[in-house]
Structure 1
């Protein structure tokens, strides 16, 4: 195959890949992000548990566009919407962040998660949502992070 034909084939494949970006990765005017959080960790083979405290960080990753965090809802492990974690809407300027301490879910409701709904006046990238969980017992400590994922818009 001649060299120029390979170059055109490679360019065509690259264009196909660029056009295949999922809808949630495109700038939008609103969206929802799901982030798991853990309230306990099993730390040995006997099933010993360590309580964890979660901190949720919502970061506006746009350099130009402010976004609004419309709601942050704690969802129990059974999918039941629970407590609102913020009072009212929170505006995040470009590259700004918001820190939240979600309440603990009642025992027996499974592993909770957090649902963040956001909006913007102009199309903007979805915010970055990270959850930091930490716990200590005596001289032992544990920390872990999870990252939120944008949910596909529902019809």
Structure 2
């Protein structure tokens, strides 16, 4: 009888752990691609205001010491906070810790409709940015428009442990 209880307990534990398995991750994660979004024509007149925003992004953070890092998945949000006007994004450049440009996410200007949000996702296995990765976004709005908001949410979960935090872009031009 005791053997049967132990066997049932072990089977329950094994099934419990098996049900917690995460689905397998893609072998080759794809970079976010905006090529399907139609190119936008930016008005060329004095009613347009141009700007540039810096956003810090962390592909990893130090864990235990400066010799050990913990990888993170980053979701970068490009948000049009204006309920009436479009926002034009002309460039989204991803840089690594050393300041080397790694990837240009926007090849042709795109527009965000009023209140629209687009995302760039950087897979946690993409360590190319390092602990000091960042973006520079170039954008344009109508003079009466509201500048866009750029945010990054970094997250990692392993077992029952989770780590997450947010950074917000800062206008530099």
So what's the TM-score if we normalise by structure 2? 0.62
Distance in 2, matches of 1:66 and 1:46, equals 43
Partner Cα distance (1:55, 1:99) in 2: 6
SS of residue matched to 1:71: strand
* Cα distance change, pair 46–148 in 1 and its aligned pair in 2 (3 A): closer
Match of 1:69 among 89, 109, 126: 89
Provide the aligned length of Structure 1 versus Structure 2.
125
Structure 1: runs of 5 or more not aligned = 1-26
User: 1:105 Cα deviation (Å)?
Assistant: 5.1
Structure 1, residues 46-76: CA drift from partner, whole Å, max 9, x if none? 9653210111001111122111111111012
Q: Give unpaired runs (5+ residues) of structure 2.
A: 1-46
Change (3 A) 1:130 1:51: same
The 5 A counterparts of 1:1-155 are 29-44=49-64, 48-102=68-122, 104=126, 106=128, 111-152=132-173
TM-score (norm 1): 0.69
Which of the two has higher C-alpha Rg? Answer: 2
RMSD: 2.6
Moved over 4 A (4+): 45-48
